[in-house]
Amino acid sequence: MATERRFRVWRGDAKGGDFHDYTVPVEEGEVVLDVMHRLQAQQANDLAVRWNCKAGKCGSCSAEVNGHPTLMCMTRMSDFPPDDVVTVSPIRTFPVIRDLVTDVSFNYEVAKRIVPFQPRPMTEEEKEAGSYLLAQEDIDRLQEFRKCIECFLCQNVCHVIRDHEENKRNFAGPRFFIRNAELEMHPLDTADRRDQLQDEFGLGYCNITKCCTEVCPEGIHITDNGIIPLKERVVDKRYDPIAWLGRKIGFAKDQRRL
Amino acid sequence: MAARVATGEPETAGGRASISARTLRKDAWWRSPATTAGVLLAFVIYSTWAAFQTTDYTWEPYISPFFSPCIADACHGSSSTWSFVPWWPLPAILILIFPLGFRLTCYYYRKAYYRAFWLAPPACAVAEPHRRYTGETRFPLVLQNIHRYFLYFAVIFNIILSYDAIVAFRDHSGAWGHMGLGTLVLLINAALLWTYTLGCHSCRHLCGGKLNIFSRHRFRLRLWKFVSWFNERHMQFAWASLVWVALSDVYVRLVASGLIHDPRFF
Ligand code: SF4
Ligand code: SF4
Ligand code: FES
Ligand code: FES
């Protein structure tokens, strides 16, 4: 049975815009994206909304519902009290194209600057086998990072750039920290990404307040398993005097490659 | 419409949607930072008060964790007396620097106080009030990177406090093989401090997180998995151990001042 529910949807573009009020019938079991589609079909044919899978897997439908960064296709209407006026707005951190659609190309630009995977040469045994030989326990930890669907909700919620547009120049953002973590912890990789992380990607801007982790629809422990281990690895190289001395004297080896 | 975006940028800086509200969240997002601030403040006030109360912090065989190891003559006659600085009037101040530094630079507490006190950010998707933000890239916050050195001291302190819990298996006259409520209090205190310390992110890194090829380091892989269990619960252990350390101090004081009688189990 459909019930009439009230919504405030942000309409506009980079030149300006505002919230518009709508009343839309909602069926049982529906998600916010369903409602936006009905709104588009019945009342606001020009409403711009991006989506693809409606299954929480493509990362296209990121928006903010009642101020919470979330995937519209994974946000159930039953989560809100029936008399609630549900606010739907575009993700705040990126330029708006129109209505609920934003331009997330900042993220693609950052991605281009990441040092690509640089595997070590194959061993004789591996050449014979025709592929690298990996132990499961060496790649277990990386699987979590590969779950990322690039919804950029973590990039959107991160206060470093959400509240400070000017920091975009110096900050890669949580999604790209875990991409770096995946490469940095890879058993085959030979590149050293730590200086770039600290100097160019702004790892030090992150104050580990964990909002990225809170909003990640894939439940990736971005901060605990990605960012903090990276910070510790940077400390090894840059801020730990004993480790530094050990390397100078020559008895401390780079444990990442041992 | 609510207040302008606190950054002072024009509303559509960076071509963003012009939404002036600081947040569109309607839930009680302030409750969590407010609670954190309240508990942390209460602890700071209590421990500052306690540090200056240089009597009644020890009653054989117990000693308050704020004053252990007993490095000043002021606490002669207590469980673990190592009189390094007999002239020093306020032993707790010297001692508290280390656990304080450990907790101040702890990755979890950083999150807690950056949110609760520094409001950077107060809660997710709630704009912070600061004009500029450089995080932990500059002095003094860049010093957070020495956290692992506080970890080393924390391990030493945990050993001393575990020792205090063991010597608490004596009676008031020093005979072994006895236990009172105070023994239990100090035992739980030591145990909670270990659970907190083992879950430290620096500890996790040093135990094995820094390795890339676990399969060549079986033992460290197991160690890493072991401390990771504590690491996942680091926040819970951080609060539990903080509250309990203060309660332990309260308990020893109550007994030492004669306000309550330490119930003896055997
Ligand atoms: S933990 Fe760091 S990267 Fe994640 S949202 Fe907070 S500041 Fe940004
Ligand atoms: S890490 Fe999580 S929140 Fe960030 S882009 Fe990937 S899936 Fe989205
Ligand atoms: S439409 Fe694909 S994640 Fe929502
Ligand atoms: S004690 Fe919390 S991270 Fe080290």
Dump pLDDT digits (tens) for B129-177.
999 999 999 999 999 999 999 999 999 999 999 999 999 999 998 899 9
Q: What's the mean pLDDT in B198-219?
A: 97
Range(s) for CATH 1.10.1060.10 in chain A? 104-257
Residue B263 lies in a domain: no
Look at residue B115 in the predicted model and tell me its pLDDT: 98
Contact A16 B18 (CB under 8 A): yes
Identify whether the C-beta of residue B56 lies closer than 8 Å to the C-beta of residue B166. no
**Taking CB atoms and an 8 Å cut-off, how many pairs form between chains A and B?**
174
Cβ-based burial of A143 (10 A; exposed 0-12, middle 13-18, buried ≥19): exposed
pTM of this structure: 0.94
- CA distances to A3, A115, B138, B182, B195 from B186, in Å: 59, 51, 39, 6, 14
Is residue B11 scored above 50 in pLDDT?
no
Is residue B15 scored above 80 in pLDDT?
yes
User: Residue B107's closest chain A neighbor by CA?
Assistant: A208
Look at residue A255 in the predicted model and tell me its pLDDT: 82
Q: Band the pLDDT of B223: cuts 50, 70, 90.
A: very high
Average pLDDT, chain B: 89
Residue B20 lies in a domain: no
Look at residue B95 in the predicted model and tell me its pLDDT: 80
Identify which ligand lies nearest to the alpha carbon of B99: 4
Range(s) of the domain holding residue B154 = 37-51+61-126+135-256
Look at residue B93 in the predicted model and tell me its pLDDT: 75
Please give the Cα distance from A119 to B27 (Å, whole number). Answer: 48
Dump pLDDT digits (tens) for B230-253.
999 999 999 999 999 999 999 999
Residue B30 lies in a domain: no
Residue B228 lies in a domain: yes
Contact A214 B124 (CB under 8 A): yes
Q: Which of A65, A49, A37 is nearest to A11 (CA)?
A: A49
Q: Residue B89 has which token pair?
A: 């009037």
- For domain A104-257, the CATH superfamily is Alpha-helical ferredoxin (1.10.1060.10)
CATH number of A3-101: 3.10.20.30
Q: Identify all chain A residues contacting B146, using CB atoms and an 8 Å cutoff.
A: 235, 239-240
Dump pLDDT digits (tens) for B24-51.
999 999 999 999 999 999 999 999 999 8
Number of domains within chain B: 1
Contact B201 A211 (CB under 8 A): no
Q: Band the pLDDT of B92: cuts 50, 70, 90.
A: confident
Look at residue B5 in the predicted model and tell me its pLDDT: 41
Identify whether the C-beta of residue A147 lies closer than 8 Å to the C-beta of residue A84. no
Q: Band the pLDDT of B89: cuts 50, 70, 90.
A: low
User: Mean pLDDT in each 10-residue stretch from start to end of chain A (258 residues)?
Assistant: 95 96 97 98 98 97 98 97 97 98 98 97 96 96 97 98 97 98 97 97 98 98 98 96 88 80
